[in-house]
Chains A and B, each alone.
Chain A
């Protein structure tokens, strides 16, 4: 699924440099990425998503060399192949749940907002247990419900890869478990791969593989 080779990335400001000689993820794998703050875990996710470009090395997702794409191509690739789940959910308070789930289709031409997509959104919401809350404002939901809505948004474009950056970081223990269950179920039921950055060590054993980022820091 993901193949990174001889990757090097530095920010223009500061001394931070990320160097990953080899890193790969197989399809349907559920990978947890751990490490101290500042080691570049979120940077890795951004590199894989094509938000930032490495100074050296290659990043291949399936057969696509993301590092070789231009801005527009990377954006298009990102929105059609990758689903993001954020620590702070990043839902838009001024939209209801339904519109939040459909939001990706409204911000890019790469995704068509047609009846099939609307139906998929409703189905995803049903699966996540928030099917009856579609008309409510995102700000009216509980934290667990908001994260579920965010997962629906991430899954809407049928991404091959889900990148979860501290997806359970702001949840209580009960919700952490529930959300992780939902993410794992999504990997199985929606034919996708999960790469999750997490600080929750109690949940690590549920992942297929754990990658410790200490290894990649210079």
Chain B
């Protein structure tokens, strides 16, 4: 019996050493361009990744501009996870090693949404338009989010093939959570699919398309008091689109909420979660979003 114990101890030691050796190379240094990718990478990679997201919490990552030190840090990463669909404009103007770049939405690029909200420009009568018109919050379509997570898992596995099983297992758990939430949203929306909604910013294109929502977008900031021009604009919208709910991307100031209330419109918050939340994580924020959204779909029109 004692010899079996020794043998088992020896085997465990060997396994322990080899596990250690697989990490002897250190965790992968992963740089991302938004918070959802950070969350996905950390869920899938666990201790085998060190995910860096250098954007300050109060800055919109889509419009963030890195300095030279930040760019150098991205260049030195083992992996650079991009969202794709034109997210993070700065990427177009910097030099990054293509071998380390992972465009997480590449597999569904033929399903990108082109928004007509932004005015483009061209040179001459027949010149080509600039590519400013892509919607980029792809992760709000939870099916796309799962695909982006899949792309991350594949990239991590290519870098660390010996940890493929671990990454796959973590991916499955994440996808289960995402699909679960996706089903919840589908169920919720099915109760009242055509309900008219207004969104404060054109950032919900993928969400609205995925769940077939009836949405009109304005360009309002949650931290600014609504002024009369905006209310006039809203009244004009309401004539064709009698919404009872306005979805803010962040907590609106009470004064704006009150003004909307006078027009019979309630406010709810759906945080796109592009940056790190003050509390919780991506899933908790999305669940909270869904719960808040449920208020719009549970009221019978």
Contact between A and B in the complex (any CB pair below 8 Å)? no
